[in-house]
A and B are shown apart, each in its own frame.
Chain A
Amino acid sequence: MPKKITIQFTLNQKEISLEVAADRRAVDVLREDLDLTGTKIGCGEGDCGACTIIIDGKTVNSCLVLAPQLDGRDVVTIEGLGNYDRLDALQQAFLDEGAVQCGFCTPGMLLSAKVLLDENPTPSRDDIMQSISGNLCRCTGYVKIANAIERAAKMKAGQ
């Protein structure tokens, strides 16, 4: 059996330490070991973005990150974006603008949008489309998603 490695990282603002096998993917550790199933698997090859998480402020496909590589990192998953008592502006905007249909791409979309707004609070429509260009959606045609990100940017600016 693969040798287990102890990794420590920050996950949704909490310090966490666990043992992982050398060949585990970050997405499997999140979904299976930590039961954070908001991170989805759509392809397993970095082509769809459903497994998008944020590592050190940047979006990555967690199906292409080896779990040991999480060591020492700051990781944010959809479960860290907001909760029932306090939605992130992006989440509220996704509700208000009708940006959710089947919802399978939604967590990844939200995290890509979060990084965009963190880096650029006043994005253009093109910036928005660029930021979610690694997240496939088959339901919405992306229009309402982009509208929601625009609205969230305005909400955040008004805060």
Chain B
Amino acid sequence: MNAYQYVKPPQLTEALRLMRENPDCHLLAGGTDLLVRMKLGRLQPGLLLDVSQLPELRTIREEAGLLRIGAAVTHTEICRAEAISRLAPALAGAASQVGSPQIRNRGTIGGNVGNASPAGDTLPALLAYGAVVELARYDGRRRRPLKEFFQGPGRTVLEEGELITGFSLAIRPAGQAAAFEKMGKRKALSISVVNAAVLIEMEAGAVVKARIALGAVAATVRRMTAAEHHLKGTDLSDGAIAQAAQLVSDAVNPIDDVRSEAAYRKQIAGVLTRRALETCRRQLNDQRE
């Protein structure tokens, strides 16, 4: 039997060095996914590299027009951070609906994204905010738009020896609204049947930016470009919203699984999109008043 080792490096550079030297290493932060896989015997023994306390991964900062969230920030911390409630409330909303209090207290946003589950709740919210994922490796750092990050269920563009250090989101200008919607089979401890996040920016009564991201309706969380294009220039009328919702419903390609059925998910994708868009419209109206 091969054995697990555990190490908790104090600094990122040390972590990156260890990753380079141990190709069999597993990144450990909250452990809410990793320990399940260990229990189910789906993990090869190797180095358990605890990145949960790396200072760079633990911070939430506003700087130079960006909101930066470290990868090892927990869902609970996201829900409770003043800066996130103010600048990215739909992300806080999404994080508040992950799992249970116990899971939110441990699970991290970097873990949620790194797992690349098609149903991860923070993923559509990050996509809607146009998040950029920040990656580091022993030989350098890079940034990638999150929408280019996911390649399939559990598959991402992360390279060997590379980890997610955090996410940066453009700070919300006036005239922006965002919303997150989730449908689960019960009200807590529920993996999404479908989830959706939407961001809208309006100027002079017209939509200038629209981002719509859906989860659990394809192999990865996805942006809905046809619906986004359709919304641009509209006044976010009922008709425009209905049309966008229909485009989303048409665009998604869900599957049947133990949680739900493809046809149902397709329909719900439209319903959640419409509800999220209506919430945005309400927020924008409130902002004007």
State yes or no: do A and B touch (Cβ within 8 Å).
yes
A66 to chain B, nearest CB (A): 6
Answer yes or no: B271 CB below 8 A from chain A CBs: no
Binds B, one of A46-54, A97-105, A151-159: A46-54
Answer yes or no: B264 CB below 8 A from chain A CBs: no
Residue of chain B at shortest CB distance from A130: B101
C-beta contact mask, B8-33 vs A, less than 8 Å → 1, else 0? Answer: 10000000000000000000101110
Residue of chain A at shortest CB distance from B6: A22
Answer yes or no: A1 CB below 8 A from chain B CBs: yes
Query: Given the interface contacts A23-B45, A25-B35, does A112 sit within 8 Å of B101 by beta carbon?
Result: yes
B182 to chain A, nearest CB (A): 14
How many B residues have CB within 8 A of the partner chain? 29
Contact of B6 (CB < 8 Å), options: A45, A68, A112, A130: A68
Residue of chain B at shortest CB distance from A115: B101
Asked whether, in the complex, the Cβ of A22 is within 8 Å of the Cβ of B103, the reply is no
How many A residues have CB within 8 A of the partner chain? 32
A23 to B130, CA, bound (A): 37
Query: Given the interface contacts A66-B48, A133-B188, does A2 sit within 8 Å of B3 by beta carbon?
Result: yes
In the complex, what residues of B have CB within 8 A of residue A64's CB? 30-32, 35-36, 103, 106
Residue of chain B at shortest CB distance from A108: B102
A32 to chain B, nearest CB (A): 16
Asked whether, in the complex, the Cβ of A46 is within 8 Å of the Cβ of B32, the reply is yes
Asked whether, in the complex, the Cβ of A133 is within 8 Å of the Cβ of B100, the reply is yes
Asked whether, in the complex, the Cβ of A134 is within 8 Å of the Cβ of B99, the reply is yes
Asked whether, in the complex, the Cβ of A2 is within 8 Å of the Cβ of B36, the reply is no
A130 to B188, CA, bound (A): 8
Asked whether, in the complex, the Cβ of B3 is within 8 Å of the Cβ of A3, the reply is yes
In the complex, what residues of B have CB within 8 A of residue A68's CB? 6, 8, 48, 50
In the complex, what residues of B have CB within 8 A of residue A3's CB? 3, 5-6
Binds B, one of A9-17, A55-63, A78-86, A87-95: A55-63
Answer yes or no: B187 CB below 8 A from chain A CBs: yes
In the complex, what residues of B have CB within 8 A of residue A21's CB? 4
In the complex, what residues of B have CB within 8 A of residue A134's CB? 99-103, 188-189
> Which residues of B does A touch, CB under 8 Å?
3-6, 8, 28, 30-32, 35-36, 38-40, 45, 48, 50, 52, 76, 99-103, 105-106, 187-189
